[in-house]
């Protein structure tokens, strides 16, 4: 039995995450065991989507998180890691500068990836294939803090992909042009009838939380009426009421509303009734990418 410890760092617009897995292989099978997970709600998007750059305060918070991640990886004996930054770092005018600063001080190398790469990495996690029926069509929808990535799948093959500047933190920061919503609807209307009926495979912390709050079992989907009613119910509450009534963390109680808004728009536009939630994200995809990268090089 061979064990390799792999780590993934996901630097998003809403939070920064470290995920560590022990991967056991015996030549015939592979077993992924979660060893550690750490989430830091820094919200880089609050700066970027209004000021176009990351402030000194957020830089310091991010640097401290990277120091902590670096030491954590040493403690867990991580053999290989990959750190990826998404929408906020892509849009920040000082993103490349911060990447270099972090490399010099913490030793962590960060890649700023585009929306297509992000979707590809998440697909590699394998969570999508588990819920996909080869005879049906799906929209993979990942709602992040800065952007929403959508991929159309037909017979488990990618047909179309698009990234929209519609993210939960971006919306809360009032940094979204109304035309972006119209562009989303317009793009969906171009093809959905040709692939009807469609189902959604939802990704992101908010849809994961919604799935849990609705009391869904692992493979049970969320229906459009359920998420529509839940959206209207939560939207009618104050921030504090959401925290109290649903035991939400303070970093989740606000972003969950725009996330549901985006899922509702897509469901309504494409006449979709089912949202499946395999609960995989960018960090999970990075772990699997690292594993397969090593297997491919042997």
- List the single range of 189-193, 207-211, 215-219, 277-281 with lowest mean pLDDT: 277-281
DSSP for residue 114: -
pLDDT of amino acid 26: 83
What average pLDDT does the segment 263-290 reach?
93
Domains and CATH numbers, the chain: 2-115+282-297 (3.30.420.40), 133-276 (3.30.420.150)
Closest CA to 202 of 224, 183, 187, 185: 224
Q: Which residue has the tokens 């303070």?
A: 250
Residue 279 scores a pLDDT above 90 = no
Task: Convert the pLDDT of each residue in 132-190 to its tens digit.
Answer: 888 899 999 999 999 998 999 998 888 998 989 999 999 999 999 889 999 999 999 99
Q: At residue 296, does pLDDT exceed 60?
A: no
Residue 290 in this model has a pLDDT that exceeds 70: yes
Q: Which residue has the higher pLDDT, 215 or 289?
A: 215
What SS3 class is residue 57? helix
CA 215 to mean position of chain CA atoms = 21
Other beta carbons less than 10 A from residue 78's beta carbon: 22
pLDDT of residue 280: 78
Q: CA angle 245-251-252, nearest 5°?
A: 50
Residue 216, Cβ density class (10 Å: 0-12 exposed, 13-18 middle, ≥19 buried): middle
Q: What is the tens place of the pLDDT at every residue in 66-84?
A: 999 999 999 999 999 999 9
Cα separation of 218 and 279, whole Å? 9
Torsion of CA 113, 116, 122, 125, to 10 degrees: -100
What percentage of residues in the chain have a pLDDT greater than 70?
A: 96
Determine contact, residues 150/141, Cβ cutoff 8 Å.
yes
State what percent of residues in the chain have pLDDT above 90: 78
Place 297 in a pLDDT band, splitting at 50, 70 and 90.
Answer: very low
Chain mean pLDDT for the chain = 92
3-state secondary structure of 141: strand
Q: What is the mean pLDDT of residues 38-51?
A: 92
Phi, psi values for residue 37, rounded to 5° = -145, 130
């Amino acid at each position: 039995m061979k064990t390799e410890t792999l780590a993934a760092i996901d630097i998003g617009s809403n939070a920064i995450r470290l995920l560590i897995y022990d991967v056991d292989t015996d030549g015939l099978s592979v077993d992924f065991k979660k060893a550690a997970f750490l989430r830091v709600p820094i919200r880089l998007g609050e700066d970027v989507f209004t000021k176009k750059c990351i402030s000194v305060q957020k830089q310091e918070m991010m640097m401290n998180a990277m120091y902590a991640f670096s030491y954590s990886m040493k403690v867990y004996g991580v053999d290989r890691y990959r750190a990826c930054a998404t929408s906020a770092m892509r849009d920040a005018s000082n993103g490349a500068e911060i990447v270099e600063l972090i490399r010099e001080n913490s030793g962590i190398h960060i890649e700023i990836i585009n929306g297509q790469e992000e979707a590809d990495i998440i697909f590699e996690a394998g969570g999508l294939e588990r819920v996909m029926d080869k005879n049906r069509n799906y929209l993979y929808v990942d709602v992040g803090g800065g952007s929403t990535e959508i991929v159309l799948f037909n017979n488990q093959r990618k047909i179309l992909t698009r990234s929209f500047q519609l993210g939960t933190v971006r919306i809360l920061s009032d940094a979204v042009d109304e035309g972006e919503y119209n562009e989303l609807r317009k793009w969906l209307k171009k093809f959905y009838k040709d692939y009807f009926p469609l189902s959604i495979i939802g990704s992101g912390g908010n849809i994961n939380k919604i799935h849990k709050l609705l009391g869904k079992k692992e493979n049970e989907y969320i229906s459009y009426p359920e998420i529509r009613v839940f959206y209207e119910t939560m939207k009618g509450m104050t921030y504090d009421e959401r925290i109290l009534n649903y035991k939400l963390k303070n970093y989740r109680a606000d972003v969950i509303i725009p996330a549901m808004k985006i899922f509702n728009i897509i469901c309504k536009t494409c006449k979709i009734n089912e949202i499946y939630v395999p609960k995989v994200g960018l960090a999970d995809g990075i772990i699997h990418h690292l594993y397969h990268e090593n297997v491919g090089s042997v």
